Structure formats: structure tokens, C-alpha cells
């Protein structure tokens, strides 16, 4: 059993500093991130302000409730639908028939898990009204950047702990590349040993 103390989660200031460093290399003309509580807002690449939907990008980590809660409040504030999205990357490469069967089973499992997460973390009426989408792509960053073209706001959480460098590969890949604004929430505190994951 590991008895070493857990690394502290990334704080908003550390997260904003890491975001600022990435933005300097990717979009030097960008005004930089804005800190709001435990969230960091990163400007999008498009000046468009179309009201489409607020996307909660959910992963199998410990943050689905925080991501959904923030996204749901923003969707209500903006008067647009909430869309819960999970990018599924575990597509096998066996025979075509086996791949189709695995894809169908994975789609059903992912849809059930997404529904369960919605009803576990939102009031029933908001969970009922939320749009749900499972994206299949071996590169989650690519899928979410593409989705950002038709979104009002993309919300997700940093994964790591132990300093600003551990914000997670998906967040790192998205910063400065999304078309809509991106909100990155600080990660949740580490779960107790043996605690179930977010999914």
C-alpha cells in the first residue's frame, strides 16, 4: 500500500500560468487566460458569438460532477442547450465484423455510462433536457477541436496534480486551438484509495 502523501491538485493560478505559457507559443496575439474561481477561461480562435450549446467534455476521471455543474450553469445563463460529450478512443482493429460488434457494444456501454453520469450529477429535469453525444476518435483533441467549431463554450477539467505541468494531455492539446472559448476547471482533489472512478 502506498503511504506517500498525495500531490496537491493544481490550483487556478498554476493552471493559468501553464495556459499562458502555451498561449504565448500558439497564439501570441491572444489576450491570455482569465481566472474565475477554480476555472480558467481561454479565448477561442473565432470571434463568432453564435448561441449553439455549451459542451461538457466528460472523461473517466473524478471530475464529471464539477464539469457538468459548471457547464449546466453556463448553458442556463446563455440560454442554450447543455451537451454532454464523451470521446471514446478504444476502437479495436480486428476483423471488420468483430470491429462492428465491438463498436456497437462500446457505443451502448458508453451511452449508458454517459446517462448515468448525467443523472448522478444533475437534477432530473436538467439531465432529461441535456443533449448526449459519444464521439469515436483515436485522437480526443482532434475530435474536441472539431466540435468547438459549432459550440458556444467547451468545458473540461485538468487531470493532473503535483504542479502546473501535470494538467493533462487533452487540456494541453486544446489550449489556443479551440474555435469557441474553453473553460478548464482545476482538477478535483485526489480520491481516497479504493474510491470508484468518475464513470
Cα angle 96, 102, 106 (rounded to 5 degrees) comes to 140
**Contact (Cβ atoms closer than 8 angstroms) between residue 182 and residue 5:** no
Counting Cβ atoms within 10 Å, is residue 34 exposed (0-12), middle (13-18) or buried (19+)?
middle
pLDDT tens track of the chain, all 199 residues?
344 444 455 678 888 888 888 888 888 777 778 888 888 999 888 766 667 899 999 986 668 899 999 999 999 999 999 999 999 876 544 444 444 445 455 556 777 888 899 999 999 999 999 999 988 888 999 999 999 999 999 999 987 655 555 678 888 899 999 999 999 998 775 544 444 444 3
Q: Are 178 and 42 in contact (CB under 8 A)?
A: yes
Topology of domain 12-185, per CATH?
Rossmann fold (3.40.50)
What's the pLDDT at 110? 74
The residues facing 161 across adjacent strands are: 9
What pLDDT was estimated at residue 68?
94
The three cell numbers of residue 75 are: 448553458
Smallest Cα–Cα separation from 162: which of 16, 15, 1? 15
pLDDT of the residue at 196: 41
Q: What is the pLDDT of residue 141?
A: 94
pTM of the model: 0.79
Amino acid at each position: 500500500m502506498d503511504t506517500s502523501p498525495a500531490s496537491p491538485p493544481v490550483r487556478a493560478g498554476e493552471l493559468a500560468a501553464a495556459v499562458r505559457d502555451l498561449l504565448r507559443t500558439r497564439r501570441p496575439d491572444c489576450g491570455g487566460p482569465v481566472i474565475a474561481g477554480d476555472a480558467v477561461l481561454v479565448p477561442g480562435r473565432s470571434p463568432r458569438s453564435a448561441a449553439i450549446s455549451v459542451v461538457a467534455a466528460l472523461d473517466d476521471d473524478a471530475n464529471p460532477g464539477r464539469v457538468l455543474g459548471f457547464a449546466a450553469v453556463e448553458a442556463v445563463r446563455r440560454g442554450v442547450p447543455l451537451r454532454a460529450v464523451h470521446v471514446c478512443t478504444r476502437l479495436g482493429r480486428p476483423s471488420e465484423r468483430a470491429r462492428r460488434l465491438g463498436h456497437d457494444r462500446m457505443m451502448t456501454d458508453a451511452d449508458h455510462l454517459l446517462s448515468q453520469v448525467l443523472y448522478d450529477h444533475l437534477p432530473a429535469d436538467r439531465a432529461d433536457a441535456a443533449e448526449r453525444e459519444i464521439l469515436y476518435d483515436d485522437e480526443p483533441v482532434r475530435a474536441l477541436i472539431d466540435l468547438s467549431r459549432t459550440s458556444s463554450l467547451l468545458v473540461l477539467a485538468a487531470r493532473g496534480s503535483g504542479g502546473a505541468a501535470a494538467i493533462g494531455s487533452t487540456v494541453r492539446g486544446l489550449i489556443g486551438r479551440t474555435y469557441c472559448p474553453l473553460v478548464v476547471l482545476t482538477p478535483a482533489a485526489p480520491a481516497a484509495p479504493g474510491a470508484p472512478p468518475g464513470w
